[in-house]
Every structure is written in structure tokens, then in C-alpha cells.
Amino acid sequence: MSSPSLRVPARAVALTAAVLLAAGCSTTTETAPPRTSPIGAPAGLERFYAQQVQWGSCRDYGPDAEQLPRGVQCARITVPLDYDDPNGETITVAISRSPASGQRIGSLLVNPGGPGAAGIGLATVADGTELTDRFDMIGFDPRGVGASEPAVRCRTDAEADADRASDDGDMSPEGIARTEQRHRDYAGACAQRAGTGLLAHVGTREVVRDIDVLRSVLGDEKLNYLGFSYGTRIGTLYAETFPDRVRTMVLDGALDPEQDPLDEVLLQAAGFQTAFDAFAADCARHDDCALGTDPVAAVGRFRALVDPLIAAPAETTDPRGLSHRDAITGVQQGLYSPRLWGSLRAGLAALTEGRGDTLLLLADLYEGRGDDGTYTNSTDAFNAIRCVDDPPVTDAAVAAEADRLYRQAAPFLDDGRASGAAPRDLCAFWPVPHTGEPHTPDVPGLPTVLVVSTTEDPATPYQAGVDLARQLGGALVTFTGTQHTVVLDGEACVDDPVIRYFVTGQAPAADPRC
């Protein structure tokens, strides 16, 4: 197995595999009051900061928006493609709003993660809490994602299916050459279909500029922001870029801006191994556990179950079958939350009987594939954003060492085909340069930010949250558990201080742990 970056999927997707929200959208159109003076507009960007929002139906804003309840409104705002050329090409960012029902403090923007995850469906994420009384809850699809236009599209639906069926674990010289050629072909398709102009300006650097435009057009002097997972990277960079424009900011499931991207991948691998071990221990208590009753032997039993899929996929009702690659993806999706462990256990039990339907469903959830065979653009956007955000690994020797360390960190993901060599990652072949580097945040004048970190988070290690709170001079809330992110997940010991912080602006005096 090679060691690519693991996507940190949208929190709402990861935790709602079997949950559908009631459908129905607002059909009214509402125009925001005219803004006579943009709030905090840099020179040359006044027309963007002063634009009016045309709120209306969410009907044409994608599947996530279509499931929003009545009363939630959607719109698009216009932003420059390139902030260094504000008179040049423009694009749009899709947003949603659930208006405050009580005494309004302002707007609260929510991002679910990714990168590449659509957030327009998160306008209702705080329903049933005081946040919906005091804030207009705002979801948004970052530029290039979901209903924002244009969206990054690199593959057709058929090409995405074919890619998932391919073998990316052959570490022979021929296998490595095939994998790297697929990377070149994919990068070339992205350049042709999405355009290098969009690809060069789809990164986090531009997203934070879009958020500041959004802050102004929503009528807020300062930003209130809740970011999950990769959304913490957006929040951190906004805090660095506009520290004087932050009112409150909660970052849950942190990425460490000082961390080398390869180190981040290896820590994720170790986190998934910890989650797999916890799942195996829980599974052993059930009669239908395909991993047996001894958690110590679970890795070996797991590999014996999935490795035959390298040669031949498992049967599924869907004609695609379950490839080895999809089996691993489905298992990783199931490890994001204990709420999905029952589905994962059922999927592995079915695989012992030669059936791959449940694991394929979990993999489809991760990959953004709908029942009709169409894909969201989450995977294409994920690749585009991460390749422009971070420096690529272009040295084959570094890729080989990363593969060795990856297998060591996560034995359950080691298919036994290590050769001492490995393909370079997709980003080594990307058609536009990267714009970000690991660094220590510089945030003079930033008010207290609240970081939430989970002790056994499989995707974003607990220590990253500890480090981010230190770097930002913020407060920390620790949650003891094995899941990816926790805010607004029904844990009162986390939600109570978070909600109090958003409403009052006051962080906890001590660093609570629960």
C-alpha cells in the first residue's frame, strides 16, 4: 500500500450514513438591505464586500441543500477568482442561511471539513440549541466545491468508478509505473476540464478571503466561525490573515499548521490503527464478528478477509463488485465514528460469505457516489485543494520511506506487498504550483480561540489540537473518545462550553476534559 493523504471527510457525512433530513426548501426570495459601506473592504474589493445577497430557494443547490427544511434559504455571492486581479474573472460561492429565531448576535459560519466537502447543508447543524436563537446559521460550499461555480471536475462518473476498481497497491516497478501514469493522466484531465486558472486559485489561501467577503455581505463587523477537521485549517489561516476581525472561533479536530504533510499522513495512519483496535475489541463482544473473539489476532484475520479481493472483487448486487481498494475505503469510513461500527461489523461479516454490498455502500458514502451512480465533486476538489495547499513529494526515495513508515504505523492497512519502493503521490504531477507551507501561525491581537480535540480521533490526532491551541494562544476542550470531531454531537460536556463561548465570547477559564 502506498501512503497517500487520507481525506478527512465532511463530519455531517461521516456521522449520518443512514440518516436523511426532511426535504423541502424555502421558495421565497429575499434581498438583503442595501449596504452603503462595505465592512472592512481592502482597496479595490469594495464592490464585492458591498454586494447584496439574493436569498431564495435551495432547490438548485445540490443534494445536500435539497434536504434542508423549509425556512432555510440559499444564495450565491460573487468573488474574484484571483484576489490579485479583482477586475478579472469572477466565480461564485454558494451559501445557505437558517435565520436566528431570537435576539440576533450575528452570523455563524460552519465548515464541515474535507478539503472538498460541501457545507451548504450545515445551516441546521445547531438545531435544538441556543445557537439557532442567537445566530443566523450559515453553511457554505467553498470555492470550487459543490454548488459553488465553477466546480472542480476532473473525471466523469464512469471514470471515477474505473479508478476505484484499479489496483493502487502493486509495488513492483511495473505497478509503480502504472500508478504514476494514472496520476499523470488524472492531473492532465483536471487541467483540461477544470482549467489551470481555477486549479491555481482553489486553495485555502483564497477561501479565507472569500469568508471575509461573506462576513461583510452578511453585515457582520467580526466573524463567528465553527470549523471541523480541515475546516480548522481554514479557521487558522483566517485568524492569521484577519486576526482583528474574529469575534469567536471554534476549531474541532485540528490540523497542526506546523506539521509536515507527510508526518500528518503517518499520524493519521496511527490514528486509524488505534480506531481499528478499538473497533476490533468491540466487535469481539458480538457473535457475528468476522475478526474473531481475540482482538490481538484481529489484524491477521482482517487481512485474510480482504487480501483475496486484490485478485478478484467480491460479489455485490451492484454490478461493480467490491474491489480491494473500495473494501479498505469502506472500512476506513466505518472507523470514523462508533455510530458506524455496527455497519462495519455487518459489512465484514457479509464479506466472510463473499458479499461486499455493505462495504461498497460505506465506500460510496466516502467517495460521494449517489444511488444513481453520479458523484459529487468532493474527491476531485479534495485533490485539487490539497495539491495546491501543500508542497508535493517529488523524491521517489522519500515516497518509499513514507510507504514503509505508513505500513509500520497501521498494520491493518499493510497488504504485504511492500517492495522498498513506492509511487510518488498525485501532487508530484500537479499542473499548478502549491501556495502553502508548514509554518507557525502569527496572530497578533487575536481574541481567544476555542480548540476542541478528541483523545482517540482517528483522523486528526489529539496532540494536534493541543498544539494548535498553544500556537493560537487559545483555550482547549478535551473529549475522551474514539471518533472524529464532537461539537454539536450531543455531548453536553463539550456543547455547553462551546455554546456559552459563542454567545458570550468568553472561553472556559480552565481547559475542561470530559
Residues serving a catalytic function are 229, 457, 484
Could you give the CA distance from residue 440 to residue 470 in angstroms, rounded to a whole number? 11
Max intra-chain CA distance, the chain? 68
One-letter amino acid at 53 equals V
- Inter-residue contact 148 to 116 (CB < 8 Å): no
Please give the C-alpha separations between residue 489 and each of 120, 126, 210, 278, 335, in angstroms, as whole numbers: 18, 9, 28, 20, 17
Could you give the CA distance from residue 69 to residue 57 in angstroms, rounded to a whole number? 11
Sorted by sequence, the CB contacts under 8 Å of residue 343 that are 6+ apart come out as 17, 18, 334, 358, 361, 362
Residue in the block written with cell 499493510? 414
- Inter-residue contact 116 to 104 (CB < 8 Å): no
The x, y and z cell numbers of residue 132, run together, are: 439557532
| DSSP code, position 448 | P
In the chain, % helix, strand, coil (3-state, to 5) comes to 40, 15, 45
The x, y and z cell numbers of residue 165, run together, are: 476498481
**Quick check: bond before 261 cis, omega within 30?**
no
| Strands annotated E in 122-191 | 135-141
Could you give the CA distance from residue 468 to residue 431 in angstroms, rounded to a whole number? 31
The x, y and z cell numbers of residue 56, run together, are: 431564495
Could you give the CA distance from residue 375 to residue 160 in angstroms, rounded to a whole number? 8
Element (H, E) at 79: strand 73-80
Nearest by Cα to 139 from 80, 198, 202, 211: 211
Helix (H, G, I), strand (E, B) or coil at 137: strand
- Inter-residue contact 459 to 336 (CB < 8 Å): yes
Beta bridge partners of 55: 30
Beta bridge partners of 80: 90
- Inter-residue contact 184 to 429 (CB < 8 Å): yes
Number of Cβ within a 10 Å radius of residue 483: 25
Helix (H, G, I), strand (E, B) or coil at 228: strand
